[in-house]
Amino acid sequence: MTSDPVAHNRAAWDRQVERGNEWSRPVSPETIARARAGDWSVVLIGYQPVDRSWFPADLTGVDVLCLASGGGQQGPTLAAAGARVTVFDNSPRQLEQDRTVADREGLELRTVLGDMRDLAVFVDASFDLVFNPVSNLFVPELAPVWRECFRVLRPGGALLCGFLNPDVYLFDSEALDRRGELVVRHRLPYSDLTHVPAEERERLWGPDAPLEFSHTMGEQLGGQLAAGFTIVGFSEAPHHSDATAGWLPGYYATRAVKPRTA
């Protein structure tokens, strides 16, 4: 098993694009046309559109960082709605999907390759909004992510973050996915590097599946607070593809604001 999850997941998500992963399918021209007309929505958790009140009333000229949000979906939609969008992602192929839509639709959109824990390419106070759909399960620790998001936001700016309910990782994935049974197997926090033997991972998902890591609610919510954010919005949604949906929320989302004064 690799000791470099960033490199592993970069290659893994490039392959996910090749295989047509649903989060790697560029939006249609119709979606972009509607967004230009003011009729737009984006997904932060599951298939649930984000409450529009979580965004500025008018996106025109708003500097948005789509963090670990490649795939040709949220970034182009927000750009078509008027935002100045930068998409930052660990996968070159995911970023290609965003450029494909931008080129096809004549959108201004910047793409940057990198690890979401290190946003050094951006100066302090570069953005008004950070949009981070469910992706922090692909990095081993969260504190650097929250610190960097806080740093690159302007005072009064907001971080919109979606994340997987860590309790989902309690369950045996094979029983969950193949039989729809909730069988408790793992202690939390969970890591693909330590909780499942490599041969089992290869049998279930193949040798090139992305590595995942659960993060406690303390790391998720407490980490945002420790970085300096004020959490002003919270929502939940069922998992869109497994048997936990009838029992517990699969996803949570937060809207966190960087105070205007220290």
Chain segment 80-138, per-residue pLDDT in tens:
999 999 999 999 999 999 999 999 999 999 999 999 999 999 999 999 999 999 999 99
Q: CA 180 to CA 111: how far, in whole Å?
A: 39
Q: CA 166 to CA 188: how far, in whole Å?
A: 8
84 occurs within a structural domain: yes
Q: Which residue has the tokens 């692909």?
A: 138
Residue 181 has which token pair?
């049974």
236 occurs within a structural domain: yes
Give the chain's residues under pLDDT 50.
1
The DSSP annotation for 151-163 comes to HHEEEEEEEEEEE
Is 43:50 a contact under the CB 8 Å cutoff?
Answer: yes
129 occurs within a structural domain: yes
**Domain hosting residue 66, numbered range:** 5-165+215-257
Kind and range of the H or E run holding 125: none
What's the confidence (pLDDT) of residue 262?
A: 59
CATH of the domain at 28: 3.40.50.150
Phi, psi of 5 (to 5 degrees): -65, -30
What's the confidence (pLDDT) of residue 181?
A: 84
What's the confidence (pLDDT) of residue 3?
A: 67
Q: Give the relative orientation of helices 92-105 and 29-36 as an angle to the nearest 10 degrees.
A: 60
Phi, psi of 232 (to 5 degrees): -120, -5
Tell me the CA distances in angstroms from 226 to 34, 220, 223, 257, one per residue in order: 39, 10, 5, 13
Q: Is the overall model pTM greater than 0.75, yes or no?
A: yes
- Of all residues in the chain, what percent are helix, strand and coil, respectively (each to 5)? 35, 20, 40
189 occurs within a structural domain: no
What's the confidence (pLDDT) of residue 2?
A: 56
The total number of structural domains that make up the chain: 1
46 occurs within a structural domain: yes
In single-letter form, the type of residue at position 53 comes to S
Is 27:77 a contact under the CB 8 Å cutoff?
Answer: yes
Residue 227 has which token pair?
């970085």
164 C-beta neighbours (distance < 10 Å), count: 22
88 occurs within a structural domain: yes
Q: CA 27 to CA 18: how far, in whole Å?
A: 16
186 occurs within a structural domain: no
238 occurs within a structural domain: yes
Computed on alpha carbons and rounded to an integer, the radius of gyration of the chain in Å comes to 18
Largest CA-CA distance found in the chain, in angstroms, rounded: 52
Is 220:252 a contact under the CB 8 Å cutoff?
Answer: yes
Is 142:164 a contact under the CB 8 Å cutoff?
Answer: no
Q: CA 124 to CA 87: how far, in whole Å?
A: 17
